Amino acid sequence: MVAQRGSIVPFAGWRRARFLGESPLRQAIRSVGDRVVRLAEEVVGQDLDARIAGIKTHPNEVGHDPFGFDPETSRYALALAALLHRRYFRTQVYGIDRIPAGRVLIVANHSGQLPFDAVLIASALMLDATPPRFPRSMVETWTAELPFISTLYPKLGQVVGSPENARRLLRQEECLIVFPEGARGISKTFDQRYQLTDFGLGFVRLALETTTPIVPVAVIGGEEQYPSIADFKPLARLLRMPAFPVMPQVFFGMIAPLPTKYRLYFGEPFYFEGDPDDDDSAIEDKVWLVKSTIQSMVNRGLRERKGVFI
């Protein structure tokens, strides 16, 4: 603040700044965040603010998104995601123009202990799709119990995964990212890499109920970012986490994920028809169709790639 310059009293300006509104912490976040956004724009060569401005949300009467999406926070997140997307993981995106306009469910395989696959799909939708699609993803319920995460996730457009929320968002013609494998998929050990686990049935019922197209996505490269050799179940239960992966690289001090090369393959959309309250067996057929499509896309992608890091 201006007051700091003239005063000889230490921290006098700091107090005044508190009363004038913005806390120093918030100011620091803002200045660092702006710098990150500028850096990302230089590196990526895209106008991120224009991308954020280009998305359509459904604000309520007081101008807030009812699910808590905050463009200001998302700006910083998008800058970080863009750096990961373009530089760190050097993602290659195939077939993003297959995403239809309007409501859509993006169904992908889940991998890699930490959900970088969701981050990269989201940044592909924001940076590579024209016009930019603002993705919402459905997160585990227990994230709403975690301090800070429970504040951050809604601000980035993440929604607690309940069928009511999904229905409401699809009726608003939004784009949802769904990982039907859930926690089972993300915490796979290294020996099971690229083998899809059981899919839940809920996403197909949801698509039938709201007549939403399903776009299958194969994510390649996630399984090698954090190779996990075991799942330490008792500790997971103690910490109330879905899984506790044992990752050797963390013991060697490598906390960041390995810089594998990601490849995202977007498939042709499925347009299912039928009764959403059908028997499980009838729904399972449709789920199987989606799952086998993703598996074959994954297999093809694995065959085509030359190496994990190139």
**What residue ranges bind other proteins (CB under 8 A)?**
60-64, 66-68, 70, 141-142, 144-151, 154, 159-160, 162-165, 168
Amino acid present at 43: V
162 vs 296, which CB is nearer to other proteins?
Answer: 162
Interstrand relation of 214-220 and 263-266 (parallel, antiparallel or unpaired): antiparallel
| Residue placing its CB nearer to other proteins in the complex, 157 or 221 | 157
Write down the least CB distance from residue 166 to other proteins, Å: 9
* CA 205 distance to own-chain centroid: 22
Give 147 or 234: the residue with its C-beta nearer to other proteins. Answer: 147
Contacting residues for 10 by C-beta, under 8 A, at least 6 apart: none
Rounded to a whole number of angstroms, the minimum distance from the CB of residue 11 to other proteins is 18
CA 146 to chain centre: 18
Nearest to 83 by CA among 46, 40, 113, 48: 40
Taking the least distance from each CB to other proteins, the nearer of 70 and 128 is 70
Integer Cα distance of 192 and 189 in angstroms: 6
Nearer to other proteins, 64 or 233 (CB): 64
- Shortest Å, Cβ 68 to other proteins: 5
| Shortest spacing between CB 60 and other proteins, in angstroms | 4
Which amino acid is residue 13, in one-letter code? G
Q: Residue 105 CB, nearest distance to other proteins (Å)?
A: 18
Residue showing tokens 């724009």 = 41
Q: Distance (Å, rounded) from C-alpha 135 to C-alpha 216?
A: 15
